[in-house]
Structure 1
Amino acid sequence: MKTSLSWLREFVELPAGLTAEQLDEALTNLGMEVESIVDQAATVKGDLVVGRVLTIEELTGFKKPIRFTTVDVGRGEPQEIVCGARNFSEGDLVAVILPGGELPGGFTIGARKTYGRNSNGMICSAAELGLSGDHSGIIVLPPGAASPGDDARPVVGLSDVLVEVEITPDRGYEMSLRGIARELSYAFSAAYTDPATLVPGRAGTAEPPYAVTVEDTVGCDRFSARVVRGIDPNAPSPEWMQKRLIASGIRSISLPVDITNYLMLELGQPMHVFDLNRLNGGLVVRRAHPGEKLTTLDGVARVLDAEDMVICDDTGPISLAAIMGGETSEWQPDTVDVLLEAAHWDPVMVGRTARRHKLFSEAAKRWERGVDPQLTLIALERAVRILTEHAGGTVDERVLDIDHLAAPATISLDPGLATRRIGLAYDAEQVAALLSQVGCTVTGSAPLEVTPPSWRPDLLAPIDLVEEVARLGGYNDIPSLLPPARGGSGVTPAQRRRRTVGRALAENGYVEVLSYPFVAPGAADQLGYPADDPRRSAVRLTNPLSEQEPLLRTSLLAPLLGTLKRNLGRGRRDVAVFETGTVFLPRLAGNAPPAMGVDRRPSDTEWAAANAIVPAQPWHLAAALTGDIEPAGWWGAGREASWADAIEAARIAVAAAGISADRVTVSAAELAPWHPGRCAAIAVDGTVVGHAGELHPAVVSAFELPKRTAAMELDLDALPLPPVTQAPRISSFPPALIDVALVVDRDVPAAEVSAALAAGAGSLLESVSLFDLYESEQLGEGKKSLAYKLTFRAPDRTLTTEETLAARDAAVAAVSSQFAAVLRGA
């Protein structure tokens, strides 16, 4: 909303010495965001002075009339100025900007030679000074208005202050002089004159001036109209009106249209002008029929929706109600009979229509925020008076007023609610006084019965009234203290597990990333999913953030591999990243969810039916790595990441989740997108919870990643939550360390050998870990050697050599019995 300070002063008695800083602070404290406060005098830089035209010489030989003038600007010798305007004569007073000055828009004035003559400055028009849109001629000042050399700014009207504020969506009443002036009266405790009370509206008559039928009283609950015949179509808008419209960012069009725009700015009531002689039959206000078409004033042919409201005559729709008029019935330069319309439209309908047609007119911006429904007759009376004053015409004494307004609802307010919510002590009398100040009718005591005024449709609930108490009571008086927080239950076990797993991977060199959960339709092909893979079935978003990625991910790997590729493309070569997040697994259902309103809580049956088709959203963990997992340096060569590191990342995550190693099984598996021969299934208590290994060469190629890139993905929600257990007792006695190398068949999983060692060694075994894998022809065909480090420790004594060797032999015997293993070197 943009306006001028002088216009505001007509309705509120602001302090005479009000500064821009004081005005800015007042508007901000009232809840308005100040975009700018501009002194018009500063928009023209340099010397803008009054000049008297001394001589005029008509120059010939050019395509357009050119005049060479001499002008007394009160600075010694007269200035020579070339000018193309012809609406001034010798002896007239004009506004002159001298060389070195700058006009609005950054147009700098200099001394130059043009049309064969010297020109030192410019004689200015109102358009060049930003005062109006009139380019027809320069400003001619009244005789005696000033003397040559005087500052021309106050004389031409460049002495005002322009104010622009951003209005929040719930405060439509502030999109008018009426609303902003009312707010400023609160801030400065100043006298306020409501412009809606300056002219009383005429009540509706039994016989309307024109036949109108309102079919949908929900979309339009009030429709008023007046008729004026025989106006002068060439009557210009008064200069004061043009200046105020220009200052508010609205161009002057014609007197009838300018009046509607002027009153929209002043009162907040949008209006519309129809050419009475271009209407065919009576008007009908209704919802559009699907597929109906209307060409609006901007020349766009629009296909209408069944929710749109339209005004129709016998030819069909002639106006997109509350948004923009149509071409067939609008004011024309030769219009002499007009129908002025002022109505009240449903804000929700207007907002949806404006967004559907991408047509955000000044009227639509006000309607969707809420307009005072009691303004229609007042605005019409003001419009009729201004129109007949400047364009003549005969007013039809009949008044149309179709009124289906509902009575305002009363809100019951506990007077102590403001104190509890704001943190300041407000007694009941103070609450009632502040609410009365904004126009509410307050009765009762406990509770207070509050009826909001017609211009405040945003006041719907007790908490809205509390906000008004805080705002008018003074935001700056509210202490900056945090309210006491209620004790919480802390993080859930699942949340704690996710944090612990993430911390464990970070401590092992992985970097956490966050990706959007959206994927392209071709992601399943890139990952090499088979045609019948359930992970191909993805949820499609109705309104995606990007049309290229309209699906929700069923795996973390596609976005994660995209992040890996992006890092490689920016020069990183050794990358290990991980991410935790939800995946979306659709539940295919043949029935649509039940339609649920907002007037009541859904029943248990409706809630269950709606949730039955909500996708399952388990938390997953994924990691991907490429390049060197151990960097090279002076200490020696590095080590390249491999499928084994991806499996180890899965082990780290499972261990961090509280799952002991004896419950975890790692076995060979085949699952896209992993390489069939280098993929492992990670199982806990016999249930597969994820996979890890080297990515398939086709997947690596599709994502443009280096060869041997490895990855893993786990379903964290599938991991059993560990029970609360006592911390283990830590022995203070020294450990006994023994290495064993076992020769087994090549297809025997190392994890199963490790489990057999643990089972055979008994309670003295503290840990077992694989540290070497060796294959050679010397071992025999189809054989491999697995070397393990066994750690033995007793809780109450130092183990003897005999005890340690006995436990080792028992462990080896168990592996030999189960897998026919042979102790290497024996």
Structure 2
Amino acid sequence: MRVPLSWLREYVDLPAGQTGRDVQAKLIEAGLEVEAVEQLGAGLKGPLVVGEVLAVEELTEFKKPIRYCQVDVGDANGTGEPQNIVCGARNFAVGDKVVVVLPGAVLPGDFAISARKTYGKTSEGMICSASELGMSDEHDGIIVLPGEHEPGTDAIELLELVDEVLDIAVTPDRGYCLSLRGVAREAATAYGLTLRDPALLDVPAPNSHGHPVEIADAEGCSRFTARTVTGLAPEAHSPLWLQRRLQKAGMRPVSLAVDITNYVMLEVGQPLHAYDRSRIQGAIGVRRAQPGEKLVTLDGAKRVLDAEDLVITDAGGPIGLAGVMGGAGTEIAGTGDVPPDAAAGTTEVVIEAAWFDPVSIARTGRRHKLSSEAAKRFERGVDPQAGPAAAQRAVDLLVLLAGGTADAGVTVAGAPPQPRTVTVAADHPDRIAGVAYGRETVVRRLRQVGCEVQGTDTLTVTVPSWRPDLTDPNDLAEEVIRLEGYENLPSTLPRPPAGQGLTARQRLHRRVGRALAGAGYVEALNYPFIGETVLDQLGIEAGDERRSVVTLANPLSDTEPAMRTTLLPGLLAALRRNHSRGEHDLALFETGLVFRPDGRDPSAASVRLPVDRRPDADELTALDAALPRQPRRVAVALAGSREQAGWWGRGRPALWADAVEAARTVAREAGVRLIVRQGQLAPWHPGRCAALLAEVNGAEVLLGHAGELHPRVVKALGVPERTCAMELELDVLEEAAGGPVPAPRVSAFPVATQDVALVVDSSVPAERVEAALTAGAGELLESLRLFDVFSGAQIGEGRKSLAYALRFRAHDRTLTVDEASAARDAAVAAAAAETGAVLRGT
């Protein structure tokens, strides 16, 4: 909402010295989002005056038409002689009044004007267009003024070129601020001044002589006011002051009747529509559209209506989309800037001022992809009491500016909703804000908002009609707090109840994040939305549980209408995006929820929980039954170099083994021994995919997978070659942990290291050998590490050698050589019994 400061002063007597910046600060303190203050006419310096064209000489020897004009500027040039000006515009003639800038002036943009020779003539100034004066972006031609202005009149004051405009971002709950009336109310409250409400007009009582109106849908339209004005002069123009106010507010002047309806909408906040009465057939009606009905709207588009659309009709069918846009069939004609034949112009209009259901208007606008200034206001909630006053204001302006006559008939169909009352404790704002405002302050602030307040300890508050957003005690508390000043609220920390900390799930989540960050991974947070396309790109086949998705009823994007079943789409998209921006060595991780519909009760309906109390057990149970299963997962993605090259040596690219090691890092944080076996699952390469398992209640349970992505997936997603990834379920990992992770035991005694090389069949996984060594070595084994894998003719075909470093240590003594050797021999014996391993060289 653009609010000219000069217009705002008509309703509030702001202190004379207050600038736009000062008003901006006050309104921001009151809770409005004033994004900017535009300085109109900044740098403008006269003389800028009204001129009358005395003569025009056409210069035809140039490629484009050029005119050499003599213009009377009165005594503004100090001589009284006409100014000679070269101009290329052709939308004016001899006798027209134009805007002339004389030498010595400076136009916006630091454009200095001087006499200069051009096209073989000396041009003593310039005839101005609206864009050159910063009035609008139109370049169609120069400004032609009404004939009543005398040559030499100061055009800066006449056109109100110097002003300040507040640019306010109006939030959905503050629809009343989409008007000068609403912003003026906030300014009056902020300064402690009196508001001159433009809606306080003497309105004649409804009677039966007005244009007939029939409301068939009272829920969609509860009140409809119709007023008629006859005898309009079709050639009448909008006066300059009206045009300039519309331009400053960001609207383009169109014609007198349309400009008046737009002006009243900006002033009062009530959208209006003007119909050519001669083109209306019978009574005006309000109803839902019939499926398949068509309407040509004012933008020239032919629209097929939906059964949910609220429409304005006459005896011939729809004549407008209610609250969104009127129809071309009843459009006002003959009051444009270039007047047509007077006989073809509109001389009688019917003014509509109605209240429409906000939800219906919002849905209609979105359904037809049609936005308008009226719809923006209706969908935020218009004052249902303002219709008759807004219609009266439009009638008064049409009578004043177009020479019309107000018809005695006044139609008001329907009735506005009853005022809403809210009961609130007088100290409720105090308890919400933690500040002792007191009853007097609360009552005073609520009355400034426009509420009627009664009661002592418990207040009965009647909400004003222009504030549909005030529905419960917390809304009223917010009004008191914002008017008292958010900046005056003390900074206090909440007191958490003693004895409550993070849950085991939360602690594991944080430990995993810290461990991966410490291992060189960067956390990436992604939206949890996916589409069918990315599942195809990942090579996930039909029948895979990851294909069964939870679809959103109202997705942010039509291409991503479902909730994710895996973390990989978002993580790989982040990797691709960073790679395309020049970051080629990447290691990303994410922890978050995936959504599986198999945990949802199909018969359970969604539950709307109360806000004034804690939900009871039944409500929470019903809510849980309606939700899908949401397991927590962790995933990593790697590409490029895992170790950088430098003077210290060659680097190393990221391999599938790094993805597996990331899984081991996560498992260590839970205190779980990870079981790694060969696996096969999309989107991983079938020969470079590891299945990650853990033991839960004596049985091996699948946690996830890790490895290198399939080349087809790499190509489809556009990620770097040899990209690797890992994904596993944290909830299952937590279950495998079975309890808190024990603290590491630190021994003061030395370690005994023993190396063994075991020869096994090539088909035996190293994980089985490690498990057997661990079981056989006993409690003295501190750790073991595979440091070499060898295969060759020396050990036989189909065989491989696995070399392990075993570390033994006791927490209460120094181990002897015999104790360490015995533990090693027991480990080798267990490996031999379990896997058929033999010591290399024996």
TM bracket (short chain): 0.7 to 0.9
Alpha-carbon shift at residue 86 of structure 1 (Å): 4.5
Rounded to whole Å, the distance in 2 between the matches of 1:302 and 1:819 is: 76
Q: 2:76 aligned with 1:73, yes or no? A: yes
Whether the aligned pair in 1 keeps the contact of 2:77 and 2:102 (CA below 8 Å) is: no
Preserved contact between residue 600 and residue 627 of structure 2 (Cα < 8 Å): no
Shift of 1:558: 4.1
Q: In structure 2, what is the equivalent of residue 33 of structure 1?
A: 33
Cα distance change of structure 1 residues 296 and 608 upon mapping to structure 2, 3 Å threshold: farther
- Distance in structure 2 (CA, Å) of the matches to 1:341 and 1:111: 53
Shift of 1:217: 0.9
Q: Is the contact between residue 225 and residue 341 of structure 1 (CA under 8 Å) also seen in structure 2?
A: yes
**1:780 and 2:783 correspond:** no
Q: Is the 8 A contact 2:606 2:626 kept in 1?
A: no
**RMSD across aligned positions (CA):** 3.7
When residues 814 and 531 of structure 1 are mapped into structure 2, their CA distance, relative to the original with a 3 A threshold, is: same
Change (3 A) 1:293 1:783: same
1:491 aligns with 502
Matched, 1:99 2:91: no
* Structure 1 residue 746 corresponds to structure 2 residue 762: yes
Verify the 8 A CA contact 2:275 2:332 in the aligned structure 1.
Answer: yes
Partners of 1:497 and 1:736 in 2: how far apart? 33
Q: Which residue of 1 aligns with 2:195?
A: 192
How far 1:467 sits from its partner (Å)? 2.0
- The equivalent residue for 1:118 is 122
Change (3 A) 1:586 1:414: same
Measured against aligned partners, the alpha-carbon deviations of 1:735-763 in whole angstroms (never above 9, x if no partner) come to 22222222233322322222222333333
- Please state how far the C-alpha of 1:321 moved relative to its aligned partner: 1.0
- 5 Å-filtered alignment, 1:367-386, equals 367-386=378-397
SS of 2:389's equivalent in the other structure is helix
Does 1:402 find its partner at 2:413?
Answer: yes
Greater displacement, 617-626 / 262-271: 617-626
Return the offset for 1:108.
6.3
**3-state SS of 2:311 partner:** strand
The residue correspondences of 1:565-580 to structure 2 (distance < 5 A) are: 565-566=576-577, 574-580=585-591
Distance 1:268 1:514, change over 3 A: closer
Give 1:216 deviation, angstroms.
Answer: 1.0
Assess if the C-alpha contact under 8 Å between 2:292 and 2:306 holds in 1: yes
Instruction: State the 1:308 CA deviation.
Output: 1.9
Matched, 1:715 2:715: no
Find the residue that maps to 1:81 and give its secondary structure.
strand
Give the SS at the match of 1:204.
coil
Aligned to 1:47: 46
Alignment of 1:802-817 (within 5 A): 802-817=818-833
More divergent stretch after superposition (266-275 vs 551-560): 551-560
Aligned residue in 1 for 2:707: 693
Paired position in structure 1 for 2:340: none
**Residue 19 (structure 2) aligns with:** 19
Which segment is superposed worse, 11-20 or 108-117? 108-117
CA contact (8 A) 2:786 2:805 kept: yes
Q: For 1:689 and 1:472, how far apart are their aligned partners in 2?
A: 55
Q: Is the 8 A contact 1:44 1:129 kept in 2?
A: no
Of the structure 1 ranges 96-105 and 7-16, higher mean CA displacement relative to structure 2 is found in 96-105
Q: Which moved more, 1:334-343 or 1:524-533?
A: 524-533
Does 1:177 find its partner at 2:180?
yes
Cα distance change, pair 344–508 in 1 and its aligned pair in 2 (3 A): closer
Partner of 1:278: 279
Q: How many residues align?
A: 811
Q: CA deviation at 1:415?
A: 1.2
1:304/1:743 Cα in 2 relative to 1: closer, same or farther (>3 Å)?
same
Letter in 2 for 1:454: S
* C-alpha contact 2:540 2:546 (8 A) present in aligned 1: yes
Instruction: Label 1:109 to 1:371 Cα distance change in 2 as closer, same or farther (>3 A).
Output: same
The 5 Å alignment of 1:364-763 reads 364-476=375-487, 478-487=488-497, 489-519=500-530, 521-541=532-552, 544-545=555-556, 549-566=560-577, 574-587=585-598, 594=605, 614-626=627-639, 629-639=642-652, 641-659=654-672, 661=673, 664-685=674-695, 686-700=700-714, 702-703=716-717, 709-719=723-733, 720=735, 721-724=737-740, 727=743, 729-763=745-779
Cα distance in 1 for residues equivalent to 2:745 and 2:165: 77
SS for the counterpart of 1:269 is coil
Instruction: Measure the CA separation in 2 of the matches of 1:616 and 1:715.
Output: 13
Paired AA for residue 711 in structure 1: A
Is contact 2:671-2:741 (8 Å) kept?
Answer: no
Summarize the alignment of residues 147-162 of structure 1 with structure 2, pairs less than 5 Å apart: 153-154=156-157, 157-158=160-161, 160-162=163-165
Tell me whether 1:317 sits opposite 2:315 in the alignment.
no
Aligned to 1:554, the other structure's residue is in SS state coil
The question of whether the paired residues in 1 share the 8 Å contact of 2:385 and 2:416 is answered with no
What is the deviation of 1:714? 1.6
Deviation at 1:251, TM superposition (A): 3.4
Per-residue deviation at 1:319? 1.1
Mean alpha-carbon deviation: is it higher for 713-722 or for 543-552? 543-552
1: distance between equivalents of 2:670 and 2:187? 60
Letter of the aligned partner of 1:403 in structure 2? G
SS in 2 for 1:398: strand
Aligned-residue offset at 1:160: 4.8
Residue 320 of structure 1 deviates from its aligned partner by 0.9
User: Within 2, Cα distance between the matches of 1:787 and 1:60?
Assistant: 100
8 Å CA contact retained: 1:123, 1:138: no
TM-score by length of 2: 0.86
Give the conservation status (yes or no) of the 8 Å contact 1:44–1:101.
Answer: no
User: In the aligned structure 2, how far is the partner of 1:304 from the partner of 1:580?
Assistant: 46
- The letter of the residue matching 1:331 is I
Q: Secondary structure at the match of 1:291?
A: coil
Q: Contact conserved, 1:124 with 1:139, CA < 8 A, in 2?
A: no
Partners of 1:730 and 1:823 lie apart in 2 by: 32
Using the size of structure 1 for normalisation, the TM-score is 0.88
Taking the aligned partners of 2:641 and 2:465, their CA distance within structure 1 comes to 71
Which residue of structure 1 lines up, in the alignment, with residue 224 of structure 2? 223
Q: Could you say which residue in structure 1 is the equivalent of 2:781?
A: 765
The whole-number CA distance in structure 1 between the counterparts of 2:715 and 2:144 is: 71
8 A contact 2:433–2:489 mirrored in 1 = no
Contact 2:51 2:71 in 1 (8 A): no
SS at match of 2:392: helix
Amino acid at match of 1:688: L
Contact 2:20/2:166, CA 8 A, preserved across alignment:
no
Instruction: Give 1:443 shift.
Output: 0.8
Q: Say if 1:490 and 1:169 are closer, same or farther in 2 by CA, change over 3 A.
A: same
**Aligned partner (choices 116, 126, 137) of residue 144 of structure 2:** 137
Letter in 1 for 2:728: L
Residues 585-640 of structure 1 deviation map (CA, whole Å, 9 limit, x = unaligned): 34398957636668899998897677657443322223344555445555555555
Report the residue type matching 1:14 in the other structure: L
Q: Output one character per residue of 1:502-542: Cα deviation in whole Å (capped at 9) or x when no partner.
A: 32233334443344444453444444444443333444556
Q: Distance in 1 between matches of 2:51 and 2:639?
A: 82
Change (3 A) 1:190 1:533: closer
Return the alpha-carbon distance in structure 2 between the equivalents of residues 645 and 248 of structure 1. 60
Shift of the alpha carbon at 1:569? 5.2
SS at match of 2:390: helix
Tell whether the 8 Å contact from 2:50 to 2:154 is kept in structure 1 after alignment. no
Pairwise CA distance, 1:316: 0.8
Q: In structure 2, what is the Cα distance between the partners aligned to 1:220 and 1:541?
A: 31
Does residue 9 in structure 1 map to residue 9 in structure 2? Answer: yes
Q: Distance in 2 between matches of 1:726 and 1:463?
A: 47
